[in-house]
Every structure is written in structure tokens, then in C-alpha cells.
């Protein structure tokens, strides 16, 4: 992490420069979670939405777009977020023949740095004119009257109710907060948990989510830790964890992990804080 731009004063460049991208080996965190290399207990994606992409057309006129990047969790690397912002900003003063040229450059650079096949969608205003603020499907845990006094991750809060019946349910909370592991800046998010198995205590689950409040971790790592802790503590047959973080520097990150046979890429949507 010594070469990462995180936490350092940096002079922004507006000339295209793919060398600004900084990769982080996913396996470093996974080893701490007991996940062996090449033996993932889940499938999924990291879905990034970029709201501040701009470049110059061949006549020097600025063009703008929103981009959606879908990075498979099987990739060797994730991308450090500040380096991603610096990289996207480097398009600002560079000329390109078309939006499609920009999209193809983004796709190649991000696929190379993550060692995977990154999917990219590029959207103009007319493409998302009907986009509305949405809510996640499921029961919100946030109105539960629980006492919270633990703000470092505690998987012991995760427990089953006395009901031995196998159920399927989806719950979510808007109270997820973690911190950048380098700068300490807060990252605010919503986390959705969908599972099949014996019922998980809602009170314990909410207290577990709140216990991330002082935790330092990258978004992708936090989603994988939540997934791993729930599997270890509650042993659901099927589990999906979907975290949606608010944007910082024009980027939001939305990791999804599941042990299902397939994973559907969620529709492009915005929550009330996004």
C-alpha cells in the first residue's frame, strides 16, 4: 500500500493516464477470513457507478456520461478507489473520437488491472431519464429497539432464533458504516441480506451490522466478511449479501456476494442516499 495514492497530496492530471490505477490483491483479505486461493465460497461482482466521467470530443467540446463498471469477484485484484478517481479524471482534458472509444479504453484498462473481464455500461442523460429513487425489497431492520454499545466487528451477535423451521427472507439495514483503512474517512452504506435457512435473530443481525461502525476495511472486503461471518455463525443453505455504499468523489461501490449457482446483476437503481 506504500505506492497507493490514498492519504497523500496528489496533483490531479487531466491527460489520460492508465498508470494511475492502483491494484489491491484480493487474496490478502481473504486469507484473513480463512478463504483459500482459488476456492471461493461465493460468486458475485463489484458494481461501481461513476457520476463524474467527462472527456473532449474531436472538436474539443466536453462530453459527459455516467458509467457502470461490473468487476467479477473472481478477479485477482480490486481497484483502490482514489486511484480510480484520479484515473477517471485524467480523461477530462483528452480528446477522443467517440464515447464508444472511451468505453473500450476503460474496458481494456480495467480488465488488465483487475485481471478479469470487466463489463462497462455508459449512459447519457436520455438513457436514464426515467430513473427514480428506489427502496430495496425486504424488511428493514432499522426500527428495531436494540441497545448498541459495540462498534468493532463482533460476529457473536449473529445467532439463530429457537425456530427450527427453514425459511426464506430478505432483510436490510441503512445503518452500515465502515471506514477507509488508510485515511479513516467514513463510508456510509446499506446492506441487504437474503438467505434460506433457520431464522437469524433480527436483533442480533442489526447489532452485528452496527458493530462495523469503527471498522477499517475496503467496501469489497467488508461485504465478504459479512458473508463469511453469517455462514460461519448461522449456516444458511443459501446466502446473498449486497452492500450499497454512498458515493465519494463521484464513485459509489456496490459489492454483491452469493453462494447461489448464479447471480443476477441488479438493475441500475439509486437509493435515497445515492
Is 84 a residue whose pLDDT tops 90? yes
pLDDT at 7 over 70: no
pLDDT score, position 18: 97
Please report, rounded to a whole number, the percentage of residues in the chain having pLDDT higher than 90: 81
At residue 182, the pLDDT reads 84
Query: pLDDT higher for 225 or 274?
Result: 225
For residue 2, pLDDT over 60 is answered with no
Q: Is 200 helix (H, G, I), strand (E, B) or coil?
A: strand
**pLDDT digits 0-9 by tens, 118-151:** 999 999 878 776 777 788 899 999 999 999 999 9
Mean pLDDT over 237-244 rounds to 97
- Catalytic status, residue 187: yes
Whether the Cβ atoms of residue 212 and residue 187 lie closer than 8 Å to each other = no
Q: Where are the domains of the chain?
A: 18-128, 139-258
Per the prediction, the chain carries an average pLDDT of 93
Specify the pLDDT at position 11: 72
Q: Which three cell numbers stand for residue 35?
A: 478463504
Catalytic residue among 180, 222, 229, 234: 180
Catalytic-role residue among 46, 67, 73, 187: 187
**Predicted confidence (pLDDT) per residue in 103-115, tens digit:** 999 999 999 999 9
| Radius of gyration of the chain measured on its C-alpha atoms | 19
pTM, two decimal places: 0.92
Q: Is the pLDDT of residue 8 over 60?
A: no
Query: What spatial distance separates the first Cα and last Cα of the chain, rounded to whole Å?
Result: 28
Is the per-residue pLDDT at 5 higher than 70? Answer: no
Q: Residue 38: its pLDDT value, please?
A: 85
- Percent of the chain's residues with pLDDT above 70: 96
pLDDT of residue 156: 98
Is the pLDDT assigned to residue 33 strictly greater than 60? yes
Fold category of 18-128 in CATH: GTP Cyclohydrolase I, domain 2 (3.30.1130)
Residue pLDDT, tens place only, 180-228: 998 899 999 999 999 999 999 999 999 999 999 999 999 999 999 999 9
pLDDT at 240 over 70: yes
Residue whose cell numbers read 443476477:
264
Check if the beta carbon of residue 46 is closer than 8 Å to that of residue 71: yes
**Topology of domain 139-258, CATH:** GTP Cyclohydrolase I, domain 2 (3.30.1130)
Q: How far apart are CA 208 and CA 230, in angstroms?
A: 10
**Residue 266 binned pLDDT confidence (cut-offs 50, 70, 90):** confident
- Is 60 exceeded by the pLDDT of residue 51? yes
The reply to whether domains 18-128 and 139-258 share a CATH topology is: yes
d(CA 193, CA 175): 13
140 catalytic per annotation: no
Amino acid at each position: 500500500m506504500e505506492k497507493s495514492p490514498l492519504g497523500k497530496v496528489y496533483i490531479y492530471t487531466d491527460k489520460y493516464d492508465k498508470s494511475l490505477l492502483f491494484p489491491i490483491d484480493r487474496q490478502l483479505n481473504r486469507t484473513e477470513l480463512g478463504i483459500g486461493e482459488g476456492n471461493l465460497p461465493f460468486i458475485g461482482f463489484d458494481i461501481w457507478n461513476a457520476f463524474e466521467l467527462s472527456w473532449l470530443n474531436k472538436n474539443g467540446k466536453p462530453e459527459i456520461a455516467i458509467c457502470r463498471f461490473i468487476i467479477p469477484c473472481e478477479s485477482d485484484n480490486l481497484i483502490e478507489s482514489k486511484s480510480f478517481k484520479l484515473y477517471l479524471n485524467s480523461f477530462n482534458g483528452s480528446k477522443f473520437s467517440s464515447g464508444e472509444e472511451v468505453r473500450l479504453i476503460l474496458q481494456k484498462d480495467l480488465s488488465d488491472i483487475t485481471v478479469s473481464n470487466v463489463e462497462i455500461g455508459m449512459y447519457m442523460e436520455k438513457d436514464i431519464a426515467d430513473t427514480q429513487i428506489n427502496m430495496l425489497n425486504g424488511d428493514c431492520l432499522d426500527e428495531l429497539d436494540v441497545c448498541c454499545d459495540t462498534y468493532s466487528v463482533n460476529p457473536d451477535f449473529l445467532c439463530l432464533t429457537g425456530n427450527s423451521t427453514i425459511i426464506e427472507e430478505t432483510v436490510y439495514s441503512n445503518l452500515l458504516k465502515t471506514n477507509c483503512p488508510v485515511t479513516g474517512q467514513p463510508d456510509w452504506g446499506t446492506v441487504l441480506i437474503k438467505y434460506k435457512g433457520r431464522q437469524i435473530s433480527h436483533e442480533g443481525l442489526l447489532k452485528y451490522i452496527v458493530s462495523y461502525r469503527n471498522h477499517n476495511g475496503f467496501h469489497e472486503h467488508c461485504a465478504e466478511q459479512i458473508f463469511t461471518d453469517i455462514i460461519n455463525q448461522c449456516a444458511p443453505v443459501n446466502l446473498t449479501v449486497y452492500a450499497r455504499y454512498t458515493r465519494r468523489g463521484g464513485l459509489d461501490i456496490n459489492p454483491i456476494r452469493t453462494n447461489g449457482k448464479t447471480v443476477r446483476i441488479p438493475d441500475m437503481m439509486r437509493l435515497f442516499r445515492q
